[in-house]
Amino acid sequence: MTSLFIPFFYIVEYARHLSLPSQQLFYVLAVMNAGGVSGRIAPAYLSDFLGRFNLLTPSAFFAGLSCLVFWTFAKSLASLMVFAATYGFFSGAFISVLTPCVAQISDIRQIGIRIGMLYTIISFP
Protein backbone atom coordinates (compact mmCIF):
# COMPACT_ATOMS: atom_id res chain seq x y z
CA MET A 1 0.00 0.00 0.00
CA THR A 2 2.89 2.33 0.68
CA SER A 3 4.02 1.88 -2.90
CA LEU A 4 0.64 3.16 -4.03
CA PHE A 5 1.64 6.63 -2.83
CA ILE A 6 5.12 6.78 -4.41
CA PRO A 7 3.90 8.78 -7.43
CA PHE A 8 2.24 11.27 -5.06
CA PHE A 9 5.55 11.77 -3.26
CA TYR A 10 7.77 12.08 -6.31
CA ILE A 11 5.67 13.61 -9.09
CA VAL A 12 6.72 17.19 -8.27
CA GLU A 13 10.40 16.25 -8.15
CA TYR A 14 10.05 14.44 -11.45
CA ALA A 15 8.45 17.53 -12.97
CA ARG A 16 11.34 19.60 -11.62
CA HIS A 17 13.76 17.06 -13.15
CA LEU A 18 12.08 17.66 -16.53
CA SER A 19 12.86 21.38 -16.10
CA LEU A 20 9.23 22.41 -16.19
CA PRO A 21 8.46 25.99 -15.13
CA SER A 22 8.37 26.32 -11.35
CA GLN A 23 4.88 27.87 -11.47
CA GLN A 24 3.51 24.66 -13.00
CA LEU A 25 5.21 22.08 -10.79
CA PHE A 26 2.50 21.83 -8.19
CA TYR A 27 -0.30 21.78 -10.76
CA VAL A 28 0.80 18.25 -11.59
CA LEU A 29 0.14 17.14 -8.01
CA ALA A 30 -3.17 19.01 -8.00
CA VAL A 31 -4.26 17.19 -11.17
CA MET A 32 -3.29 13.86 -9.60
CA ASN A 33 -5.35 14.66 -6.50
CA ALA A 34 -8.29 15.79 -8.63
CA GLY A 35 -8.14 12.48 -10.47
CA GLY A 36 -8.11 10.75 -7.10
CA VAL A 37 -11.28 12.55 -6.02
CA SER A 38 -13.18 11.45 -9.11
CA GLY A 39 -11.62 8.00 -8.79
CA ARG A 40 -12.96 7.64 -5.27
CA ILE A 41 -16.49 8.68 -6.17
CA ALA A 42 -17.36 7.10 -9.54
CA PRO A 43 -16.01 3.56 -9.01
CA ALA A 44 -17.47 3.38 -5.51
CA TYR A 45 -20.86 4.13 -7.01
CA LEU A 46 -20.35 1.68 -9.87
CA SER A 47 -19.24 -1.08 -7.50
CA ASP A 48 -22.82 -1.44 -6.27
CA PHE A 49 -23.85 -2.47 -9.77
CA LEU A 50 -20.76 -4.19 -11.17
CA GLY A 51 -19.40 -5.72 -7.99
CA ARG A 52 -16.66 -4.61 -5.66
CA PHE A 53 -14.11 -7.23 -6.61
CA ASN A 54 -14.88 -6.70 -10.29
CA LEU A 55 -13.62 -3.11 -9.90
CA LEU A 56 -10.80 -3.75 -7.42
CA THR A 57 -8.66 -5.87 -9.71
CA PRO A 58 -8.83 -3.65 -12.82
CA SER A 59 -8.24 -0.49 -10.81
CA ALA A 60 -5.07 -1.95 -9.24
CA PHE A 61 -3.94 -3.24 -12.62
CA PHE A 62 -4.50 0.04 -14.45
CA ALA A 63 -2.85 2.06 -11.67
CA GLY A 64 0.29 -0.03 -12.06
CA LEU A 65 0.06 -0.03 -15.84
CA SER A 66 -0.23 3.74 -15.94
CA CYS A 67 3.05 3.98 -14.01
CA LEU A 68 4.73 1.67 -16.47
CA VAL A 69 3.31 3.20 -19.62
CA PHE A 70 2.58 6.86 -18.95
CA TRP A 71 5.11 7.84 -16.29
CA THR A 72 8.00 6.05 -17.95
CA PHE A 73 7.51 7.96 -21.18
CA ALA A 74 6.34 11.30 -19.74
CA LYS A 75 8.78 13.93 -20.97
CA SER A 76 6.52 16.97 -21.33
CA LEU A 77 3.98 18.79 -19.20
CA ALA A 78 1.05 17.43 -21.21
CA SER A 79 2.11 13.81 -20.94
CA LEU A 80 2.85 14.24 -17.23
CA MET A 81 -0.63 15.69 -16.71
CA VAL A 82 -2.17 12.71 -18.53
CA PHE A 83 -0.26 10.37 -16.24
CA ALA A 84 -1.26 12.36 -13.15
CA ALA A 85 -4.96 12.28 -14.00
CA THR A 86 -4.93 8.61 -14.99
CA TYR A 87 -2.95 7.40 -12.02
CA GLY A 88 -4.93 9.58 -9.62
CA PHE A 89 -8.20 8.13 -10.90
CA PHE A 90 -7.19 4.48 -10.69
CA SER A 91 -5.35 4.75 -7.37
CA GLY A 92 -8.35 6.54 -5.89
CA ALA A 93 -10.59 3.77 -7.20
CA PHE A 94 -8.39 1.13 -5.60
CA ILE A 95 -8.37 2.90 -2.24
CA SER A 96 -12.12 3.44 -2.19
CA VAL A 97 -13.08 -0.10 -3.18
CA LEU A 98 -10.59 -1.96 -0.97
CA THR A 99 -12.46 -1.57 2.34
CA PRO A 100 -15.90 -2.57 0.97
CA CYS A 101 -14.30 -5.73 -0.45
CA VAL A 102 -13.14 -6.71 3.02
CA ALA A 103 -16.54 -5.87 4.46
CA GLN A 104 -18.27 -7.97 1.81
CA ILE A 105 -16.44 -11.17 2.78
CA SER A 106 -16.56 -10.58 6.56
CA ASP A 107 -19.07 -11.24 9.27
CA ILE A 108 -20.52 -8.00 10.66
CA ARG A 109 -18.80 -8.58 14.01
CA GLN A 110 -15.36 -8.99 12.43
CA ILE A 111 -15.27 -6.15 9.90
CA GLY A 112 -13.28 -3.83 12.15
CA ILE A 113 -10.74 -6.51 13.03
CA ARG A 114 -10.22 -7.54 9.42
CA ILE A 115 -9.89 -4.00 8.11
CA GLY A 116 -7.38 -3.28 10.87
CA MET A 117 -5.43 -6.42 9.93
CA LEU A 118 -5.55 -5.47 6.24
CA TYR A 119 -4.09 -2.01 6.79
CA THR A 120 -1.52 -3.38 9.24
CA ILE A 121 -0.28 -5.96 6.73
CA ILE A 122 -0.21 -3.64 3.74
CA SER A 123 1.52 -0.86 5.65
CA PHE A 124 4.83 -2.70 5.46
CA PRO A 125 6.72 -2.05 2.21
Position 24 in a domain:
yes
The per-residue pLDDT for range 20-44, each reduced to its tens digit, is: 888 888 899 999 999 999 999 998 8
The per-residue pLDDT for range 82-123, each reduced to its tens digit, is: 999 999 999 999 999 999 999 999 999 999 999 999 989 888
Position 114 in a domain:
no
Q: Tell me which residue range forms the domain holding 83.
A: 2-100
Position 125 in a domain:
no
Position 21 in a domain:
yes
Position 115 in a domain:
no
**pTM across the whole model:** 0.90
Task: Provide the H-helix boundaries in the chain.
Answer: 6-17, 25-50, 52-66, 77-104, 111-122
Query: Do the beta carbons of residue 28 and residue 12 sit within 8 Å?
Result: yes
- Name the DSSP class of 106: S
Position 118 in a domain:
no
Position 40 in a domain:
yes
Our CA angle for 59, 63, 96, nearest 5°, is 45
- State the total domains in the chain: 1
Query: Do the beta carbons of residue 36 and residue 87 sit within 8 Å?
Result: no
Position 76 in a domain:
yes
